[in-house]
Amino acid sequence: MRLGRWAWLLPLPLLAVLGLFLFGLGELVWSSFAGPEGFGLDRYRQFFARPDYIDVLFRTLWVAALTTVVSLFISYPVAYFVARYRGRKDWLLVLIMLPWLVSVVVRTYGWIVILGNRGLLNEFLGWLGVIDAPVRMLFNTTGVVIGLVHVFCPFMILAILAVFLQLERQLEEASMSLGAGPVETFWRVVLPLSLPGVISGVMLVYLMSTGAIITPLLLGGLRDRMLGTQIYQEMFQLFDFPKAATIAVILTVTAFVVVLPLQWLERRVSRNLKGAA
Amino acid sequence: MSQTDTLLAIDRVVKTFGSHRAVDGVSLDVRRGEFLTLLGPSGCGKTTILRMVAGFEHPDSGTIAIEGRPIQGVPPYRRPIGLVFQNLALFPHLTVGENIAFGLRVRRRPQEEIARSVDEALALVELSGYGERRVHELSGGQRQRVALARALIIRPAVMLLDEPLGALDLKLRRQLQLELKQIQQRTGTTFIFVTHDQEEAITMSDRIAVMNGGRVEQVDTADRVYNRPSTEFVATFVGDTNLLSGRVAQAGDGEARVSVPALGRDVPAPAGSLRAGDPARLSIRPENIRIAGPDAAWRVEAIVRDVVYAGAAHRYTVEAGDMRLLVAAPANPGTAPLAPGQRIAITWAGADAALLAASAA
Same domain? For B231 and B257 the reply is no
DSSP H helices, chain B, are 46-54, 96-106, 111-124, 140-152, 170-187, 198-204, 222-227, 232-237
Closest to B93 (Cβ–Cβ): which among A174, A185, A272?
Answer: A272
Q: Which of A170, A179, A185 sits opposite B89 (nearest CB)?
A: A170
Residue A9 burial by CB count (10 A; 0-12/13-18/19+): exposed, middle or buried?
exposed
A271 to chain B, closest Cα gap in Å = 9
Please give the pLDDT value at position B2.
Answer: 46
Angular region, A155: left φ>0, alpha ψ -120 to 50, beta rest: alpha
Nearest partner of A242 among A253, A231, A252, judged by Cα? A231
* Closest C-alpha to A192, from B255, B75, B99, B153: B99
List Cα–Cα distances, A277 to A169, A173, B85, B121, in angstroms.
Answer: 11, 16, 16, 26
Which residue in B54, B92, B105 is closest to A177 by CB distance?
A: B54
Residue A6 lies in a domain: no
Q: Which residues between 168 and 227 in chain B have a beta carbon less than 8 angstroms from any beta carbon of chain A?
A: none
Are both B183 and B247 inside the same structural domain? no
Handedness of CA A50, A52, A55, A60 (dihedral sign): negative
Overall residue count recorded for chain B in this entry: 361
CB environment B212-247: b (16+ within 10 A), e (fewer): bebbbbbbbebeebbbebbbbbbbebbbebbbbebb
Total residue length of chain A: 277
- Chain A: give the shortest CA distance to residue B232, in Å: 36
The closest CB to that of A176, out of B76, B87, B135, belongs to B76
Per-residue pLDDT, B336: 72
In degrees, rounded to 5, the angle at the alpha carbon of residue B106 between the alpha carbons of residues A184 and B155 is 135
- The tally of CA atoms less than 13 A away on the side-chain side of residue A250 is 27
Check B77 against A276: CB less than 8 A apart. no
Same domain (yes/no): B127, B224: yes
Please state the ipTM of this predicted complex. Answer: 0.85
Locate the chain B residue with the closest alpha carbon to A277: B92
- In degrees rounded to 5, what are phi and psi of residue B294? -65, -25
pLDDT of residue A276: 46
Report the alpha-carbon distance of residue B291 to residue B329 in Å, rounded: 8
Q: What is the pLDDT at residue A64?
A: 94
Parts of chain B with a pLDDT under 70: 1-4, 334, 359-361
A176–B75 CB contact, under 8 Å? yes
**Sign of the dihedral defined by the CA atoms of residues B235, B236, B239, B245, in that order:** positive
pTM above 0.80, yes or no: yes
Using CB atoms, pick whichever of A173, A175, A273 lies closest to residue B92: A273
Within this chain, do residues B201 and B294 fall inside the same structural domain, yes or no?
Answer: no
What pLDDT score was predicted for residue B276? 84
- Kindly state whether residues B213 and B283 are assigned to the same domain: no
Report the alpha-carbon distance of residue A252 to residue A258 in Å, rounded. Answer: 10
Cβ atoms of A216 and A229 within 8 Å: the answer is: yes
Partner A contacted by B136 (CB < 8 A)? yes
B256 in helix, strand or coil? strand
Residue B361's pLDDT is 46
Looking at residue B359, what DSSP letter applies?
Answer: P
Q: Do B8 and B133 have their domain in common?
A: yes
Tell me, yes or no, whether B119 and B264 share the same domain.
no
* Other CB atoms within 10 A of residue A14 CB: 9
Among A172, A175, A178, which would you mutate to test the B interface (most chain B Cβ atoms within 10 Å of its Cβ)? A178
**Per-residue confidence (pLDDT) for residue A129, from 0 to 100:** 85
Tell me the sheet residues that pair with B192: B36, B160
Strand partners, B251: B256
> Which domain, by its residues, includes B50?
3-235
Any chain A CB within 8 A of the CB of B56? yes
CATH of residue A105's domain is 1.10.3720.10
Q: Look at chain B and report how many structural domains it folds into.
A: 2
Residues B327 and B287: their CA atoms lie apart, in Å, by 6
**How many angstroms separate the Cα of B78 from the Cα of each of A139, A176, B121, B224, B309?**
53, 8, 22, 36, 54
Classify residue A69: in a domain, yes or no.
yes
Which residues have CB under 8 Å from B182's CB, separation 6+? Answer: none
pLDDT at A207: 93
Number of domains into which chain A is organized: 1
Distance of CA B80 to the CA centre of its chain: 24
- Report d(CA A211, CA A116) in Å as an integer: 25
For residues B264 and B226, membership in a common domain is answered with no
> Quick check: is A38 in a domain?
no
Q: How far is B33 from chain A (nearest CA, A)?
A: 20
Report if residue A256 sits inside a domain.
Answer: yes
Yes or no, beta carbons of A272 and B134 under 8 Å apart = yes
Provide, as residue numbers in chain A, all residues whose Cβ is less than 8 Å from the Cβ of B66: none
The residues, ordered by sequence, that sit 6+ positions from B209 with a Cβ below 8 Å of its Cβ are: B28, B36, B37, B38, B39, B216, B218, B219
The pLDDT score that the predictor gives to residue A3 is: 67
The residues of A whose Cβ lies within 8 A of any Cβ of B are 168, 170-171, 173-181, 184-185, 188-189, 192-193, 272-276
Query: Do B194 and B249 belong together in one domain?
Result: no
A259 and A206 in contact (C-beta within 8 Å)?
Answer: yes
Residue A88 lies in a domain: yes
Round to whole Å and give the CA distance between B274 and B248: 7
Nearest to B92 among A185, A188, A274 (CB): A274
Q: Do A179 and B154 touch (CB under 8 A)?
A: yes
Find out whether B178 and B147 touch, Cβ atoms under 8 Å: no
Q: What is the pLDDT along chain A (277 residues), one digit of tens a residue?
A: 566 788 888 889 999 999 999 999 999 898 888 877 778 888 898 889 999 899 999 999 999 999 999 999 999 999 999 998 888 888 999 998 888 888 888 888 888 888 888 888 888 888 888 888 888 888 888 889 999 999 999 999 999 999 999 888 899 999 999 999 999 999 999 999 999 999 999 999 999 999 888 888 888 877 778 888 889 888 888 888 888 999 999 999 988 888 999 999 988 888 777 654 4
Instruction: Give me the residues paired with residue A20 across strands.
Output: none
Residue B331 buriedness (CB in 10 A; 0-12 / 13-18 / 19+): middle
Does residue A231 belong to any structural domain of this protein? yes
Residues of chain A contacting residue B102, judged by C-beta atoms under 8 Å apart: 175, 178, 180, 188
Domain boundary among B235, B267, B284: B235
B-chain CB neighbours of A187 within 8 Å are none
The CATH number that applies at residue B147 is: 3.40.50.300
Segments forming the whole domain that contains residue A148: 43-276
Record: contact B77-A180, CB cut-off 8 A = yes
Please report residues of A whose CB lies closer than 8 A to that of B85: 170, 173-174
Say how far residue B275 (Cα) sits from the centre of its chain: 30
Are B276 and B205 contained in the same domain?
no
From chain A, the residues in CB contact with B82 under 8 A are 177-178
Whether A133 is covered by a domain: the verdict is yes
- Of A175, A192, A275, nearest to B135 by CB-CB distance is A275
Cβ contacts of A188 on chain B, cutoff 8 Å: 102, 105-106
Which of B235, B253, B268 is the last residue in one of the domains? B235
User: Residue B335 belongs to a domain with what CATH number?
Assistant: 2.40.50.140
Residue A1 domain flag: no
Please tell me the distance from the alpha carbon of residue A209 to that of residue A72, in angstroms, as a whole number: 13
User: Which of these, B327, B330, B333, B267, lies nearest to B300 by C-alpha position?
Assistant: B267
Among the candidates B235, B266, B284, a domain finishes at: B235
CA distance A83 to A160: 10
| Residue B69 contacts A where some CB pair is shorter than 8 Å | no
Out of B75, B102, B134, closest to residue A178 by CB: B102
Alpha carbon distance A49, A195 (integer Å): 40
Q: Which of B77, B85, B102 sits opposite A181 (nearest CB)?
A: B77
B173/B319 same-domain check: no
Say if residue B156 is in the same domain as residue B221.
Answer: yes
- Assess B106–A contact: CB distance below 8 Å, yes or no: yes
Residue of A nearest to B51 (CA): A173
**Cβ–Cβ below 8 Å for B136 and A180:** no
Q: Could you give the CA distance from residue A175 to residue A190 in angstroms, rounded to a whole number?
A: 10
